């Protein structure tokens, strides 16, 4: 029934290629099927002004999509001179999600910026970005620990994200572009390895949904995130 | 336990003053306690380019906060030259929420813009905006029906929104600013009168949350929205 | 002869509602008939860079119009990404007018920003803004005096403003929108309670005017401002 | 008493060099003493959208100041990415002033843009710009008449402008920079050859002023504009 | 003598991975050593306004650098709200270079946009971009020919580019970052397979250079471009 | 054969009017035929942040074109809100060219900004700007030496620039607008009085070119620059 032939609770292939680029303190190319996001983690000593001298660090994110990551070419945001509302919404979500598993005191006065750039898009770019950002962040933090720049590990656990939606009446996991553009409702869940929720966002697109549907989507997300946690563990091993 | 002395499932006073300004086709000043939002609905024949000639209409929203709506003065977005990510995220949410109860075919080739301007802020401005926007939209659509510009009512039912959160370990309804700035998690629910969900967004702030908490927040939201539906009905009677 | 039936030297009803919002140090909703402007005065210790350390304060203003304050919806300046020339011209005028009655040395190292936001427009928004801004400024300065933050009153006297114009050959006071859009010439006068002039601006629209007309417009403005001074006095009593 | 040694009612030397550049339909370098403004008039068939098909033309103006026209270097507005409020205020004034002497119906469907660029500034740049713009406009309109593109002369009479102010208690004509930066009040008058007023703007800087002072400034302006009208006549002879 | 141990006339390893992404009509990841640039070619029927209806097509380019492509993180241009002068200079160069080998008449009314995004930077990003853009363009044009959308091949020959410079007194080919940041002079040459020059740019950095040096740099560029032509041929075979 | 009747190796008349404006530390109006550029040199003590405290100075440039410098009116960059890629490319080139003859250590902690504003354009504006900028810089540096603000002359020699191109198959010197818009290739050379090259840029427009042509263009540039060096010498004598 799904255009891709997947079962309703089946993720696309998860691929994680750590150390994809050389200069960043952490770097990864993550794929959920044909969705490919390059995430780099950059460590800097310079904090945002409102955090200086407070004995803590900061984790933030920026998100971009290459103009031809998509089926038809989109405008380059740098050329248009501003980031879209969608871009800003996504990068705020990524930042919050990673901060949910970071002890900012233990991070010390470092800022880590997660740059998430979509190389190829086929649905679920923001959830792939969050899931990859954890790997990049883990690698960057490993470096800080190894270099003795911080004493204790500020990352409390893994975080991952996946989209779900109601497609032709059926809740399905990990929407690809074909499904996403026709779903009645779609949701993004950011989950922690301990089962807790960092963020739940479920939006009616062509039809509103009920509480039961919300719960079924959440359960699909748990299945997907477990796969992602396993892939993350393998990537940083 | 709540700074305001309210019970956990108690809304602030809901005030709705329809026809607050003269020129707009629909206009309302809505208050959730000290949060006051002026919403106007403007009907125009001009549609966005990608909708022209498709025999349907459009409902969209813009959101702003007066610089001194808040405890300390914020920058004027017009002077800074751009809308913040937060502003864009909120106005996208308002637009989606109202479209969830609008049959765009029945609206005909009209665009209705809901301008939501926060006169005074004390938490929950986006949910007050959505709840007030339904009233302004209802008034504007009534005018279109009365003038014979559309034949059938495009509004399928009421929509309302409220925030909830986990404050000092307890799920509470309709966070005010004091609670909002200290909540462990906060959520916004956009609900329909028939019980369906148009949007659920629950975010960990100082602590992540579990499925049970998500459900408890949703149930609080149902209580609050029922109060809002009653106030909306009275306002447009 | 006037569309409103007013006599040539008759102001519209002046309404001043002090303390309209809670957070600002001074706040007022002023109305000249259907023109309604919300003015807040915000006191900050942060001065513009070029004034720091000079032992004086600053009074400045910002102006905005809600998109649907007017008969047809205008663009939101924050969304367009810049303030119009008209907006900037008006806010510069408001700031100058209030500084004309403020002893900046006595104000000490405080900046007071007057945010003037037009809720509903029917002509004369800039003059209503100036007249209301004096009230908001007076309230904010009262607070500084009461809290002992300044020792002496920096406000030397009242300032008020009103528009006049030549409508169908007759000089008239306090143009409403119908008159303003058809006037041959229109003028804005900013007057002090002692009769002095802080600003006079008289512009030919459809016809140029002579010296005699300029003087007649000024005399009408004196009549209007006297009414406004009385309303200001009552509002801050 | 004036830093320049001029009598209170004495203009600086007025120099007008028509045809200063080659490409524009009208071009002039005007000087009021050390203030030098290059004005070009460009004729285009393209009208602003709101005027198309109405059987009339348009006259508009843009104003700029070269970064080092002034005593200390100012920012280049093109590099900063926006025009200041002052720039916009001035270019709006120039456009209005020239339209006051143009019959837009007789101009036909042509737009004439007056670009006023300050090469060197010593006070009074906006009034020199208006006075020079009339010459450039006259030259451009002569060309349209000569080429048979319009049948009747749309320019009804001359327009000129000059600044005046109260300097050390004395009303003086044509403020230079030294006077302008220390004047108690300064005014700009835009006058027609027939004695009518197109625009009067009088602003208190360090001290407010009374009606008598306003009239004395206006009378000085008449003296100055008569000199300018003579210089304009000679330049276009 | 070179930090990398290369001979003065030795290119870094050239890697070309065609079809790197799925959606674009042409796509390639090109590497000159550690410099990696993703280039996509997007075919659209929409031409820039000034070319419509002229029976010809257009080839243009945009260039960007991911924030952490470099040793230290740079600002994201989309977040800053404008493209740097360097970015604009580079994308203009890329567009001109590709148009030098394209018969725009034979291309018909198609626009091909070459998006060149630097994934990892180690000197020579603009020359790698041009060299890769030819491959992406070739692939896209092959598709147009295969689909019968154009009848004859508009690409007249290959184009490639390489940087050269004077490093510690010696002319060397294909500067990497270490060399580039310390070179006395650096040059970029865009060469055609037939030996002709499309663009030569040679800039003194720490020292000016003479005619003999210019010629030696050009000869090195010929050596490098011959290697690139061979790699291009292999990639599109 | 040339539209102007000039010989292939003939410059247009070079005119240099030093001290064209009063306020700048150096000022010149340079003409290459009908191309007229006003260049001012402004000395400031404020250095860009990345140079502060390094015991050296900086020379930089900005470039602009008055809207009606050209045959048809162009947009004002300040009104559009950004500088074009062409503008930025040119001002970067001017800055580099002047730094090639400046010992920044000897300049001390001063910044000199060269503002190059095109009053009238007929081809070759960037080369006229560079050639004039040297004169303005020389005058400004003379002032610093005379005032004892610097001890030794930081200008090592003269720099000049000229354009050349291949017009109807023939290499010609100093392209005017008619030639420039039809040239097969055009080049800009920035040369030093000692014969060295600071910058060479040769671009194929309608046809690519070979090494022999590049050398012939360079030799023409030497002829032209010698004329400019003579005119510069005379202007600063």
Q: Which residue has the tokens 């960059």?
A: F77
Residue A209 has its nearest CB partner, among B85, B196, B210, at: B196
Predicted pLDDT at E144: 98
Looking at chain D from residue 67 to 126, which residues have their Cβ under 8 Å from any Cβ of chain F? 67-73, 76-79, 81-83, 87, 113, 115, 117, 119-121
Q: What does pTM read for this prediction?
A: 0.93
Residue among A203, A209, A215 with most chain B CBs within 10 A, to mutate? A203
Query: Which pLDDT band, with edges at 50, 70 and 90, does E1 fall under?
Result: confident
Mean pLDDT of the residues in chain D: 97
Hey, how many other C-beta atoms are within 10 angstroms of the C-beta on C2? 18
Predicted pLDDT at C23: 97
A216 → chain B, closest CA residue: B211
In CATH, what number is assigned to the domain containing residue D151? 3.30.230.70
Residue D192 has its nearest CB partner, among C200, C202, C208, at: C208
Predicted pLDDT at D1: 86
C-beta separation of B197 from A202 below 8 A: yes
Taking the C-alpha atoms of residue A192 and residue A159, their distance in angstroms, rounded to an integer, is: 5
Hey, how many other C-beta atoms are within 10 angstroms of the C-beta on B60? 17
Domain assignment present for A9? no
Domain assignment present for F2? no
Does the pLDDT value for residue A1 go beyond 90? no
The per-residue pLDDT for range B30-43, each reduced to its tens digit, is: 999 999 999 999 99
Subunits close to E (at least 3 CB pairs below 8 A): A, F
Query: Which pLDDT band, with edges at 50, 70 and 90, does F1 fall under?
Result: confident
Hey, how many other C-beta atoms are within 10 angstroms of the C-beta on B52? 9
C-beta separation of F91 from D43 below 8 A: no
What residue ranges in chain D does DSSP mark as E strands? 14-18, 26-32, 35-44, 58-65, 111-120, 159-167, 170-173, 185-192, 197-204
Mean pLDDT of the residues in chain C: 97
Three-class secondary structure of residue D75 per DSSP: coil
Average confidence (pLDDT) over E190-205: 97
Query: Which pLDDT band, with edges at 50, 70 and 90, does B125 fall under?
Result: very high
C-beta separation of C234 from D232 below 8 A: no
Residue F200 has its nearest CB partner, among E83, E100, E200, at: E200
- Rounded to an integer, what is the distance from CA B71 to the centroid of its chain? 21
The per-residue pLDDT for range F116-174, each reduced to its tens digit, is: 999 999 999 999 999 999 999 999 999 999 999 999 999 999 999 999 999 999 999 99
Chain D closest-CA separation from residue F33 CA (Å): 12
Predicted pLDDT at C1: 86
Predicted pLDDT at B1: 86
Predicted pLDDT at D31: 98
Chain A closest-CA separation from residue E195 CA (Å): 33
Average confidence (pLDDT) over B210-220: 97
Nearest to A181 by CA among A191, A168, A197, A192: A168
Predicted pLDDT at F117: 98
CA dihedral angle for residue A173, residue A179, residue A181, residue A184, rounded to 10 degrees = -70
Predicted pLDDT at E36: 98
Predicted pLDDT at E184: 95
Residue D44 has its nearest CB partner, among F27, F34, F73, at: F73
Hey, how many other C-beta atoms are within 10 angstroms of the C-beta on A210? 13
Domain assignment present for A224? yes
Predicted pLDDT at E3: 95
The per-residue pLDDT for range C35-76, each reduced to its tens digit, is: 999 999 999 999 999 999 999 999 999 999 999 999 999 999
E81 → chain F, closest CA residue: F82
- The answer to the question of whether D127 is labelled as a binding residue is no
Domain assignment present for D67? yes
CA dihedral angle for residue C142, residue C148, residue C152, residue C156, rounded to 10 degrees = -20
Query: Which pLDDT band, with edges at 50, 70 and 90, does B170 fall under?
Result: very high
The per-residue pLDDT for range C174-208, each reduced to its tens digit, is: 999 999 999 999 999 999 999 999 999 999 999 99
Across the interface, whether the CB atoms of E66 and A120 are under 8 A apart is answered no
Q: The domain containing residue A115 runs over which residues?
A: 14-236
Predicted pLDDT at D200: 98
Taking the C-alpha atoms of residue F85 and residue E88, their distance in angstroms, rounded to an integer, is: 5
Domain assignment present for B1? no
Q: Which contacts (CB < 8 Å, 24+ apart) does range A233-237 have?
A: A233/A158, A234/A16, A235/A16, A235/A17, A235/A18, A235/A28, A235/A135, A236/A18, A236/A135, A236/A138, A236/A139, A236/A142
Predicted pLDDT at D98: 98
Chain E closest-CA separation from residue A172 CA (Å): 24
Query: Which pLDDT band, with edges at 50, 70 and 90, does A19 fall under?
Result: very high
C-beta separation of B28 from B17 below 8 A: yes
Residue D200 has its nearest CB partner, among C83, C100, C214, at: C214
Does the pLDDT value for residue D113 go beyond 90? yes
Predicted pLDDT at A167: 96
Average confidence (pLDDT) over D146-155: 97
Chain A closest-CA separation from residue E43 CA (Å): 9
Residue among C94, C197, C210, C225 with most chain D CBs within 10 A, to mutate? C197
Nearest to A145 by CA among A133, A136, A132, A154: A154
Predicted pLDDT at B187: 98
Mean pLDDT of the residues in chain E: 97
C-beta separation of E147 from E108 below 8 A: no
Q: E145 is written with which tokens?
A: 């020919």
Average confidence (pLDDT) over A42-59: 94
Mean pLDDT of the residues in chain F: 97
Supply the DSSP symbol for F207.
Answer: S
**A102: CB partners within 8 A, 6+ apart:** A57, A59, A137, A154, A155, A156
Domain assignment present for B5? no
Number of separate domains in chain A: 1
Q: Looking at beta carbons, which residues of chain E come within 8 Å of A24? A: 68, 73
**C9: CB partners within 8 A, 6+ apart:** C172, C173, C220, C223
Average confidence (pLDDT) over D225-235: 98
Predicted pLDDT at F127: 98
Predicted pLDDT at D169: 94
Predicted pLDDT at A24: 98
C-beta separation of E48 from E95 below 8 A: no
Across the interface, whether the CB atoms of A197 and B202 are under 8 A apart is answered yes
Across the interface, whether the CB atoms of B66 and C40 are under 8 A apart is answered yes
Predicted pLDDT at D118: 98
Supply the DSSP symbol for B49.
Answer: G
Percent of chain F with pLDDT over 70: 100
């Amino acid at each position: 029934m799904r255009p891709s032939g997947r079962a309703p609770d089946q993720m696309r292939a998860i691929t994680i290629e750590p150390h994809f680029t050389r200069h960043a303190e952490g770097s990864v190319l993550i794929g959920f099927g044909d969705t490919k996001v390059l995430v780099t983690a950059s460590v800097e000593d310079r904090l945002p002004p409102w955090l200086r001298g407070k004995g803590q660090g900061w984790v933030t994110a920026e998100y971009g999509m290459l103009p031809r990551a998509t089926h038809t070419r989109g405008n380059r945001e740098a050329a248009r001179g501003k980031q879209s509302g969608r871009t800003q919404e996504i990068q705020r979500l990524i930042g919050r999600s990673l901060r949910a598993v970071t002890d900012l005191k233990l991070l010390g006065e470092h800022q880590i910026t997660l740059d998430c750039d979509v190389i190829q898009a086929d649905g679920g770019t923001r959830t792939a970005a969050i899931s990859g950002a954890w790997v990049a962040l883990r690698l960057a933090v490993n470096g800080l620990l190894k270099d003795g720049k911080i004493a204790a590990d500020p990352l409390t656990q893994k975080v991952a994200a996946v989209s779900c939606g109601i497609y032709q009446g059926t809740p399905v996991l990990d929407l690809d572009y074909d499904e996403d553009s026709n779903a009645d409702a779609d949701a993004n869940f950011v989950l922690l390895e301990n089962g807790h929720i960092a963020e739940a966002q479920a939006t009616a697109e062509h039809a509103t949904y009920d509480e039961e549907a919300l719960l079924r989507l959440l359960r699909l997300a748990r299945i997907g995130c477990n796969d992602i946690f396993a892939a993350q563990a393998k990537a940083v091993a």
